[in-house]
Chains A and B, each alone.
Chain A
């Protein structure tokens, strides 16, 4: 199995396009996942009976093969980017919901009582006290969800999307390893870079966690 370096040189434009398309799908999914899981996590955190239901439900979602999710979405959103993003979002929810709930759980009860005693209104306490303190655990979830999404995008190649995943089906059909190797390497690099950037973001967002280190 040899690498055809000239193919890589001839396809830098295509590879750039695919990489950006890949990234766009993965990041949109994480963003939508956050928008959906934050309010859900607050509900799950506050209303105990719903907690088990929500977390259990999201665990079951995780056991469904991703390719099936994409196919089952076809009647709703067709062969479009929307299908890819909805499918990926479902998988990010599993991680984001759990970590956000655990993050909120990790806020000490005394801190919450102090905020209440100072007359902070519940919504304000949530936004200015609880969520910031939960941030390290939430960010851990965001990192996992991002890396997972970047890896999963390629499955959407079975419904004609999939960013760098298109290199896999192409190489497969033509018995041509070069695009496949390039696709795997670029996916790993994207995940690595995105993860490192998120670590940096977390460092900036949570200055209070640094003092102890």
Chain B
């Protein structure tokens, strides 16, 4: 072993973290059309990625159930993170399919998008998605972002709509997942569309224990929740209405790599989309969150009950 090769190895090893931080764009996460994540077509199987909240995992396992029934091998990777992490992973090929939400996805891809009606949004998505990705037909079920306050807060400040928040500019604290701070359907849009400015943004989670705990405790005044969260009703929280349509329709829509989107996959997911309602989805979420059932079991049982699988 000569000294020079040893030194070479030394510097290579020493610079691993630095390199890691610097080569964004070279490989998988930002690369286009990588081949991992199960190869070139749905025959090689489909890896389904899901975001870091219950409902997305339920949807992921529902996709898996109907695809398996159609003869497609699947692998579900639960809890991978936020859209900001998942979409690069889909482009890089680490995953092949992802349960998404129409409006939120559109605003992620194109923050200036103006479409609000489902058909328009579907077209806008088709136009603006990066090469190699497409959305399949959207389903019936819908899960919107909601900005909610406790009943006491609503009464005290006279809050009923998002526009009312403006009267309290600089006085209220909002709690949401960290990514919402920079999202159009979030702090950015609330300022642009309603002129609302908060005293503070608290980084919490996606309609999870942190944001709900903070709302209950009074650590935040306004919380970003999902409309399919049964805790909203259970706690009699007030969802502020959205007269200027800041929050777009959020029908569940499969986002998929082109190479995985063959007719078998399309047909199976379309069938699911036509059966699953918002009420169904809310109930499935409740079973996982409250009854502590596995998302996988809940999804399989539902698919079977509805005759989507045998």
B-contacting residues of A (Cβ < 8 Å)? 4, 7, 11, 36, 39-40, 42-43, 50, 54, 57, 61, 64, 69, 72-80, 86, 90, 93, 123, 157-160, 166, 169-170, 172-176, 178
Contacts and interface: CB of A to CB of B under 8 A. Distances in A.
A166 B79 contact: yes
10 contacts: A40-B6, A40-B13, A69-B17, A74-B29, A75-B24, A76-B23, A79-B29, A173-B208, A175-B289, A176-B292
A76 B27 contact: yes
B20 A73 contact: yes
Given A7-B292, A39-B6, A76-B19, A160 B81 contact: yes
Interface of B: 1, 6-7, 9-10, 13-14, 16-17, 19-21, 23-30, 36, 49, 52-54, 77-81, 85, 88-89, 92, 94-95, 205, 208-209, 288-289, 292, 294
A108 to B, nearest CB: 24
Contacts of B1: 39, 123
Nearest to B15: A57
Contacts of A64: 17
B85 A79 contact: yes
Q: Is the interface of A mostly helix, strand, loop or mixed?
A: helix
A42 B54 CA distance: 50
B9 A75 contact: no
B2 to A, nearest CB: 11
A168 to B, nearest CB: 10
Q: Which 4 A-B pairs have the closest CB atoms?
A: A75-B24, A160-B80, A78-B28, A72-B21
A57 B18 CA distance: 12
A40 B9 contact: yes
B17 A174 contact: no
A173 B52 contact: yes
Contact of B20 (A72, A159, A178): A72
